[in-house]
A = this chain, B = another copy of it.
Amino acid sequence: MNGRGFVLWFTGLSGAGKSTLAERVGTELRRRGLAVEILDGDEVRENLSKGLGFSKEDRDTNVRRIAFVANLLAKHGVVAITAAISPYRAIRDEARALASAPFVEIHVDASLAVVEKRDIKGLYAKARARLVPNMTGVDDPYEAPLAPEVVVRTGDETIDQSVDRIVAYLASRGLTSSV
């Protein structure tokens, strides 16, 4: 058997730093001998949700699929790290309820002002120019978690600091060792 699997669920606006943190925390956990799989938002859309759009219904379907796959992996001892915006609270709570392994929700909390200034993918500029519809934070809601296990404020702290706090939290739960 792998170690104890769990689901590490990142949520936050586009550009908040979810994918970067997922990769960095994943690296830390692999270094400790854990089996890690990262289900990144864009990759999952390509492989599991091609054809779905960004309506509430389609987003919910996409997030449910991520939750289904993450849970399959976690129950077999894999650390399943998800990094999709997952803007709706009810579906994230559904993912938590579905999980048969520990579920750790990380709110990657960066203000719209911060992510819009970064605008790494150029999506916010397009959304403001009405070239991209349904942009979370601009046209579409983002419902922040009410009780996430960890909140990282990537506008106020460095990536290293965020990674350290997440790993420290996981260690406090006994989730960073492979046996």
A residues with a Cβ closer than 8 A to B are: 1-2, 35, 37, 47-48, 50-51, 61, 64-65, 68-69, 72-73, 76-78
A104 to chain B, nearest CB (A): 19
A39 to chain B, nearest CB (A): 8
Residues of B close to A37: CB separation below 8 A: 72, 76
Identify which of B51, B61, B64, B76 contacts A76 (C-beta below 8 A): B76
Q: Once the chains bind, are B72 and A61 in contact (CB under 8 Å)? A: no
Copy number in this complex? 2
Q: Once the chains bind, are A77 and B47 in contact (CB under 8 Å)? A: no
Supply 24 A–B pairs (Cβ within 8 Å), ascending by A: A1-B2, A1-B35, A2-B76, A2-B77, A35-B76, A35-B77, A37-B72, A37-B76, A47-B64, A47-B68, A48-B48, A48-B65, A48-B68, A48-B69, A50-B61, A51-B61, A69-B69, A69-B72, A72-B72, A72-B73, A73-B73, A73-B76, A76-B76, A76-B78
The CA of A78 and the CA of B78, in the complex, are separated in Å by 10
The chain B residue sitting closest to A46, CB to CB, is: B68
Residues of B close to A47: CB separation below 8 A: 64-65, 68
The CA of A86 and the CA of B48, in the complex, are separated in Å by 17
The CA of A69 and the CA of B73, in the complex, are separated in Å by 9
Residues of B close to A68: CB separation below 8 A: 47-48
